Chain A
């Protein structure tokens, strides 16, 4: 089992300033799955009830000179502490910028899987090692990781990942993520359970309802991807609640109940600076899916080499 690669400058930028801060908010630890072509960060895929997040990078988006081999079809996966990984990448960046003032292209950040005997241990432990070569010095940082997943565990993780790829039939584009986050953060004080309904007309309706208060927000006429429909004229002047109930009855909308905490957590992905955000409800209402899209810098074309999406578990009403 071998893994060795060099992080590119843009790869370091993506991880250090965008994805690792976002993934750190999703949970302390995650699985890192490395394949021949991809590096995938996975949160909560095997342990049921949290927000699942899946951040997938083509190897070219992060690395060059990427070498991987293992007996499991060249796949390696392990559990890693996101904040430790973030710290290692961040300090490598500062070392590079300190020593490599001339911007020599040789200042490269190598990352590899190693087993080392650490003090107070009789067994060698696995680490992800970051090696930064400066002009006259080299700095090595070891990030502790779990034992690599066994073949059976890897198959289980791969199966969970395949399961998590189903797309909602209707996706609506939320234009202002900051505004939504602001609203949901304040809503948290009022209740714990959030009803979310999404219609083919491009309406997103959020509602918290307790015995003392009903608090909701409706965002209308958003861009729809997938199944869409024209809103009936007679629905235009109704209250938000009535409108979404009628759309559900008509089969033009789906509704699920999720935890407000989970919803707010999924919005933390804006730290990864996505260019578009879509919300949708998976078929049969099995989960609420949030898909983030990234553009190729300087264009409005989707960067297919990076993808990030979250799945929020649905609570039984």
Chain B
């Protein structure tokens, strides 16, 4: 029963898309997440030991109904694993389900309910908690006028990071303007270097911006977290991921996940699926501090 006083009531018609988007930031079994609700949509944030943060942006355009009534933006904590497993229960293959999500319930729970069938109904109440304060600020600022950045096919990025598991521990990312190239270099149990040359692989490296050479090291396990659970739909849709390096070597990794409903009824009059039905996923990775000037 959604009371009119609820801060937010929204309906999801592509549960699997939402499960995919949220799973992309699930890099271990037990993870606490913070949900922020606003008039623009829902943001989910997860963090690890002050070195890695991930955000999933679910804009209100992804939902078939979005009623936001709060005056102060609500913020609460939930277990990410439980939220994903629970949402997954609503996703029945070959049987599209509409799920209505309401916050808060009578005891500050997150309420979920399937609404499309009169004779069967799935429902859930997830306990929420008061969120911890964000441990450090992930403000991403460009080092110069524009951040150093490149866009690479998500599949190629994932493959490169998977391959770097062998040397492991610490991975150096080097961006060079002449010739424009990106290098992933791992040194540990052995050396492995993977180069993406902009002019040689224009289909893999689709955009590149860098005006001076930069080089930072990142912990392998954090880099791996940025691609370990990329949804298969991202690879299938042949999407690209954008990586940017900002001031102090902060690495930002962005993925796009389709939350479009795969049924033909949602193709609009122009004959293509609405382009706004994309969830944005961002990871922020702090570099390893190997000299005293950092931080």
Does B123 touch A at the CB level, under 8 Å? yes
- CB contacts under 8 Å to A, within B118-160, are 118-127
Does A165 touch B at the CB level, under 8 Å? no
Does A212 touch B at the CB level, under 8 Å? yes
Binds A, one of B59-67, B83-91, B181-189, B246-254: B83-91
Does A183 touch B at the CB level, under 8 Å? yes
Question: Of B86, B119, B121, which is within 8 A of A215 by CB?
Answer: B86
Which B residues touch A189, using CB under 8 A? 85, 88
Does B79 touch A at the CB level, under 8 Å? yes
Looking at chain B, what size class is its interface with the partner chain?
20 to 34
> Scoring A residues 205 to 220 as 1 if CB is less than 8 Å from chain B, else 0, what string do you get?
0000001111111111
Does A221 touch B at the CB level, under 8 Å? yes
Which A residues touch B1, using CB under 8 A? 239
Are A186 and B119 in touch, CB under 8 angstroms?
no
Does B95 touch A at the CB level, under 8 Å? yes
Are A216 and B119 in touch, CB under 8 angstroms?
no
Does A62 touch B at the CB level, under 8 Å? no
Contact flag A186-B127 (CB < 8 Å), given A212-B82, A219-B119, A219-B120: no
Are A215 and B120 in touch, CB under 8 angstroms?
no
Q: How far is the CB of B6 from chain A (nearest CB, A)?
A: 15
Chain B residue nearest to A183 (CB atoms) is B89
Which A residues touch B93, using CB under 8 A? 182
Question: Of B79, B89, B95, which is within 8 A of A212 by CB?
Answer: B79
Interface of A, helix, strand, loop or mixed by DSSP:
mixed
Are A212 and B126 in touch, CB under 8 angstroms?
yes
Looking at chain A, what size class is its interface with the partner chain?
20 to 34
Does A137 touch B at the CB level, under 8 Å? no
Contact flag A217-B79 (CB < 8 Å), given A190-B89, A212-B127: no
Q: How far is the CB of B43 from chain A (nearest CB, A)?
A: 22
> Scoring A residues 84 to 101 as 1 if CB is less than 8 Å from chain B, else 0, what string do you get?
000000000000000000
Question: Of A182, A187, A212, A240, which is within 8 A of B121 by CB?
Answer: A240
Are B89 and A215 in touch, CB under 8 angstroms?
yes
Which B residues touch A212, using CB under 8 A? 79, 82, 126-127
Question: Of A186, A211, A240, which is within 8 A of B89 by CB?
Answer: A186
Contact flag A186-B85 (CB < 8 Å), given A211-B127, A212-B79, A239-B1: yes
Are B123 and A240 in touch, CB under 8 angstroms?
yes
Question: Of A179, A211, A215, A239, which is within 8 A of B124 by CB?
Answer: A215
**A-B contact sample (9 more), CB < 8 A, given A215-B123, A218-B121, A239-B1:** A179-B92, A182-B93, A190-B82, A212-B127, A213-B124, A213-B126, A217-B120, A217-B123, A219-B120
Hey, which bits of chain A sit against chain B, CB under 8 A?
179, 182-183, 186-187, 189-190, 211-221, 239-241
